[in-house]
Amino acid sequence: MTNTGSLLDKNQAHGHMVRTLMLPVCWFSVSSFTLSLLLLMVPSLLILTDFFQGANQALDYASNLADPLGARLVLLHVRRNSVLDPEMQRGVLSNLSREAINLVMNDIARQLAVPVVAEVGYGGMAAAVADAVSRHHPELIVLGRPEYSTTPAEMVETTSLDILRAAPYPMLLVPHNVVSSSPPTRLLLAVDGQPFDLGEHAGVVHRLLTELRASLTVLYVTANADFGKKPPEALEAVVRAGLLLEAAPVEMRTISNRSTEAGILQEAKQPEYDMLVVISRRRSFLGQLFHRSVTAQLLMHSELPVLVLPAL
């Protein structure tokens, strides 16, 4: 049996360097190819970390989520030390040396109760995430939303948008003040009543509903006082997308509000929910007005963790 507790590999991928470290674990002697296949068979959650509070809260949340899902964590830190990097100029990036980053990453990994792969990427955030996604095929990309007093809201928005464009995968944004001791079990799914197709990403919702034994509330917000005919259409869109399971309890909610995002945020404040799920259409995150979209507003202002599901 072998013990892998140090640097495993270093390779060029899409123009940036990736260093992979692993938590000390025991494996039967197998080839590197077989080991890679075994790792790909295990579900994973990709966690972005910069060692600040928001990232730490996201890591705690992801750890609680990974356990019942039987998933491993892929911990990714992107080292960006260019003086031309706008985030470095604003002082919102960790300025640790390579050796210090390796020590911190290994220390974090040792404290977690779930299997962990730790990686250090070099280059742009979106490119590093896209590369990690192509290699690990995670079920979710998880990142923390820091406190806006230290990190401008538009920076969080830009990072989320860049990731959605480069790697259109389900993305979970965890606010810095969320304290999680158990996985979410009460999901609020906001829909606009129009048909949508999630493709293979519908499986993420299936896993959350089945493995976490979660309930689902489908929310439709309308500006009209007379909305009697819309709820069946909104629910039908969810059914056609393949999100509903027979074993999972589902409730339909329709509320009236002139502002869609305000209505969703208002409903999400109710104590019966612990995760907000939204559908992001491709035209939204590929367009130039993402900052005005409902998805962007929810990412910036929701008090609940927000799971963004990119539609095809």
Hey, what amino acid is at 294? V
Gap between the terminal Cα atoms of the chain: 44
Predicted local confidence at residue 56, as pLDDT:
81
Helices (H), ranges, 5-52:
32-41
Helices (H), ranges, the chain:
32-41, 53-69, 86-89, 98-111, 125-136, 153-166, 202-211, 230-240, 260-268, 282-286, 294-301
Q: Domains plus CATH for the chain?
A: 2-175 (3.40.50.620), 186-310 (3.40.50.620)
Angle CA 70–74–79, to nearest 5:
165
Please tell me the distance from the alpha carbon of residue 5 to that of residue 247, in angstroms, as a whole number: 42
Predicted local confidence at residue 284, as pLDDT:
62
Across 96-119, b (16+ Cβ under 10 Å) vs e yields: beeeebbebbbebbeebebbbbbb
Is residue 281 classed exposed, middle or buried when 0-12, 13-18 and 19+ CB atoms within 10 A define those classes?
middle
DSSP per-residue letters across 99-161: HHHHHHHHHHHHH-SS-EEEEEEES-HHHHHHHHHHHH--SEEEEEE--TTTS-HHHHHHHHH
Please tell me the distance from the alpha carbon of residue 109 to that of residue 149, in angstroms, as a whole number: 29
Please tell me the distance from the alpha carbon of residue 168 to that of residue 138, in angstroms, as a whole number: 12
Q: What is the DSSP letter of 167?
A: S
Q: What is the DSSP letter of 190?
A: E
Q: Two tokens at 237?
A: 């869109």
Predicted local confidence at residue 110, as pLDDT:
83
**What are the 10-residue block averages of pLDDT along the chain, 312 residues in total?**
36 47 41 49 87 75 93 87 42 61 80 87 86 94 80 69 86 89 93 91 91 93 69 84 81 90 95 95 60 81 94 86
Predicted local confidence at residue 147, as pLDDT:
78
Dihedral sign for Cα 209, 117, 280, 159, please.
Answer: positive
CA-atom Rg of the chain in angstroms: 20
Q: What is the DSSP letter of 273?
A: -
Please tell me the distance from the alpha carbon of residue 63 to that of residue 61, in angstroms, as a whole number: 5
Please tell me the distance from the alpha carbon of residue 21 to that of residue 101, in angstroms, as a whole number: 11
Please tell me the distance from the alpha carbon of residue 45 to that of residue 66, in angstroms, as a whole number: 7
Give the 3-state secondary structure of residue 218.
Answer: strand
Predicted local confidence at residue 89, as pLDDT:
35
Orientation of helix 125-136 relative to helix 153-166, angle to 10°: 40
Please tell me the distance from the alpha carbon of residue 120 to that of residue 94, in angstroms, as a whole number: 13
Q: Two tokens at 37?
A: 């296949």
Predicted local confidence at residue 163, as pLDDT:
87
